[in-house]
């Protein structure tokens, strides 16, 4: 099988990498993080103009890509630049859910997501869910022709500045049943919705969302009642691939920064890169990063396969990325010595992002257990 990118993807990667190099310096990123939004609306619009957001959705839904390798190309570049703009939540998670299950009226929102005029946030995770997609305590009840929602959501990416929230709620069944989950599109201005934002360790922003008797019309329901789990699983799977590719890009930058340091730092008049012990540690890192790259390629190739093949490949990739990302973060900082921990050195920020990626959409332990469970399901 040929895993080389098409000419269109190579052009997209070149354009995005060049844009990041010219317009998204580390100093500018730090300035952006100090702003109230936690990301730059200007950069967000420029990414849309470059076609970056459109590359994450199919032509049928207002974009021009949407395949696993399109996602991987974009997010590897995002990882190299440590971009904090809301591509994951708005374009991948919410965009795919609307594209998969939305009515014609709801799908009319997708062009707004693609051109950056509409910012959407994915409000699914709840306190104490431990990454389990089916564990939803937020309740939705019929209220005349509409709906009444009560509950809370945690770690909603860029939730405090979103125009629209995709909210999961239980309409039937026990708290951890796959059946009985429904999805709702909730404008952020809806009465009874309280959103409180906070910063994360890697510079991003998330929000706690409280829903107190939130009244919605009947057309707020996304997809069929009680049937939201499959849509969630598909969207989260695409998010997992995006995170794995982003981590790969961050690993590459950390690796190169560490190599450059070993080639220039002297101790007792000798380049430390000449020390055999450090060469061995660096060689292990290089091999592990190539393993991570193979996992991302495998997950991207399996994105349109049958459910079990797709989900096993995605969980396998997240396991590899969680382990290797932590290793790269730790080894890169240790090989830099004390300077590796300083705020002024970009490496420390890449290390924090790698650690944070492990905890988004399921950590290494969660996906290892899931990979095993899916294997048993496949063998049954």
* Same domain assignment for residues 236 and 331: yes
Q: Residue 6: is its pLDDT beyond 90?
A: no
* Same domain assignment for residues 151 and 242: no
* Same domain assignment for residues 256 and 325: yes
What pLDDT band is residue 3 in, cutting at 50, 70 and 90?
low
Residue with tokens 């599109």: 185
Q: For residue 1, is it within any domain?
A: no
Q: For residue 157, is it within any domain?
A: yes
- Helix axes 346-358 and 229-264, enclosed angle (nearest 10): 150
* Same domain assignment for residues 220 and 127: yes
CATH number, domain containing residue 254 = 1.20.140.10
As a dihedral over the C-alpha atoms of residue 257, residue 262, residue 264, residue 265, rounded to 10 degrees, the angle is: 110
What pLDDT band is residue 355 in, cutting at 50, 70 and 90?
very high
The total domain count for the chain is 3
Q: For residue 2, is it within any domain?
A: no
DSSP type of residue 275:
-
For residue 237, give its domain range. Answer: 230-379
* Same domain assignment for residues 256 and 364: yes
Q: What is the pLDDT of residue 1?
A: 56
Which of these, 253, 255, 240, 246, lies nearest to 318 by C-alpha position? 240
Q: For residue 80, is it within any domain?
A: yes
Contacts made by residues 370-373, CB under 8 angstroms, sequence distance 24+: 370/311, 370/315, 371/312, 371/315, 371/316, 371/319
* Same domain assignment for residues 132 and 161: yes
| Two structure tokens written together for 307 | 């459910």
Q: For residue 287, is it within any domain?
A: yes
Parallel/antiparallel/unpaired status of strands 221-222 and 205-216: unpaired
- Helix axes 276-301 and 229-264, enclosed angle (nearest 10): 160
* Same domain assignment for residues 197 and 234: no
**Mean of per-residue pLDDT scores for the chain:** 94
Q: What is the pLDDT of residue 344?
A: 84
Taking the model in full, what pTM does it have? 0.96
pLDDT tens-place string over residues 291-329: 999 999 999 999 999 999 999 999 999 999 999 999 999
Provide the β-strand partners of residue 207: 156, 197
Pick the more confident residue, 93 or 278: 93
pLDDT tens-place string over residues 43-56: 999 999 999 999 99
* Same domain assignment for residues 194 and 302: no
Last residue within a domain, chosen from 211, 227, 243: 227
What pLDDT band is residue 103 in, cutting at 50, 70 and 90?
very high
pLDDT tens-place string over residues 106-164: 999 999 999 999 999 999 999 988 899 999 999 999 999 999 999 999 999 999 999 99
Q: For residue 268, is it within any domain?
A: yes
Q: What is the pLDDT of residue 167?
A: 98
Dmax over Cα atoms in the chain, in whole Å?
Answer: 79
Last residue within a domain, chosen from 90, 114, 138: 114
* Same domain assignment for residues 107 and 141: no
* Same domain assignment for residues 129 and 38: no
Q: Provide the terminal-to-terminal Cα distance of the chain, rounded to the nearest Å.
A: 29
Q: For residue 16, is it within any domain?
A: yes
* Same domain assignment for residues 374 and 244: yes
What pLDDT band is residue 269 in, cutting at 50, 70 and 90?
confident
* Same domain assignment for residues 78 and 143: no
- Asked if 106 and 98 touch (Cβ cutoff 8 Å), the reply is yes
Q: What is the pLDDT of residue 287?
A: 97
CATH number, domain containing residue 147 = 2.40.110.10
Residue with tokens 């997992």: 240
CATH number, domain containing residue 72 = 1.10.540.10
Q: For residue 347, is it within any domain?
A: yes
Last residue within a domain, chosen from 81, 114, 147: 114
- Asked if 136 and 84 touch (Cβ cutoff 8 Å), the reply is no
Which percentage of the chain shows pLDDT scores above 90? 82
Q: What is the pLDDT of residue 2?
A: 60
Dist CA 21 CA 52 (whole Å): 15
């Amino acid at each position: 099988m040929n895993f080389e990118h098409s000419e269109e993807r190579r052009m997209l990667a070149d354009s995005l990498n060049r844009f990041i190099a010219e317009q998204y310096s580390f100093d500018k990123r730090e300035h952006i993080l100090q702003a109230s939004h936690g990301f730059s609306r200007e950069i967000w619009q420029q990414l849309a103009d470059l076609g970056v957001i459109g590359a994450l959705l199919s032509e049928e839904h207002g974009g021009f890509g949407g395949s696993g390798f399109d996602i991987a190309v974009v997010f590897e570049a995002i990882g190299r630049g440590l971009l904090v703009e809301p591509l994951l939540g708005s374009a991948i998670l919410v965009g795919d859910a609307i594209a998969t299950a939305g009515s014609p009226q709801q799908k009319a929102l997708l062009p707004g997501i693609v051109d950056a005029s509409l910012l959407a946030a994915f409000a699914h995770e709840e306190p104490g869910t431990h990454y389990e997609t089916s564990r939803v305590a937020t309740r939705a009840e019929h209220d005349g022709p509409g709906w009444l929602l009560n509950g809370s959501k945690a770690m909603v990416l860029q939730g405090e500045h979103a125009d629209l929230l995709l909210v999961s709620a239980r309409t039937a069944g026990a708290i951890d049943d796959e059946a009985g989950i429904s999805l709702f599109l909730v404008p952020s201005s809806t009465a009874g919705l309280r959103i409180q934002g906070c910063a994360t360790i890697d510079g991003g922003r998330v929000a706690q969302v409280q829903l107190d008797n939130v009244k919605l019309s009947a057309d707020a329901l996304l997809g069929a009642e009680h049937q939201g789990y499959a849509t969630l699983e598909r969207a989260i799977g695409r998010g997992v691939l995006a995170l794995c590719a982003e981590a790969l890009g961050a690993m590459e930058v950390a690796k190169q920064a560490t190599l450059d340091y070993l080639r220039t730092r002297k101790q007792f008049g000798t380049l430390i890169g000449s020390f055999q012990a450090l060469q061995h540690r660096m060689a292990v890192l290089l091999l592990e990063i190539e393993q991570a790259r193979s996992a991302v390629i495998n997950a991207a190739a399996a994105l349109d396969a049958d459910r079990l093949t797709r989900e096993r490949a995605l969980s396998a990739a997240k396991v590899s990325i969680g382990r290797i990302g932590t290793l790269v973060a730790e080894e890169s900082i240790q090989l830099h010595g004390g300077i590796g921990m300083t705020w002024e050195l970009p490496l420390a920020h890449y290390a924090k992002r790698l650690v944070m990626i492990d905890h988004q959409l399921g950590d290494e332990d969660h996906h290892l257990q899931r990979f095993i469970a899916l294997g048993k399901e496949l063998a049954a």
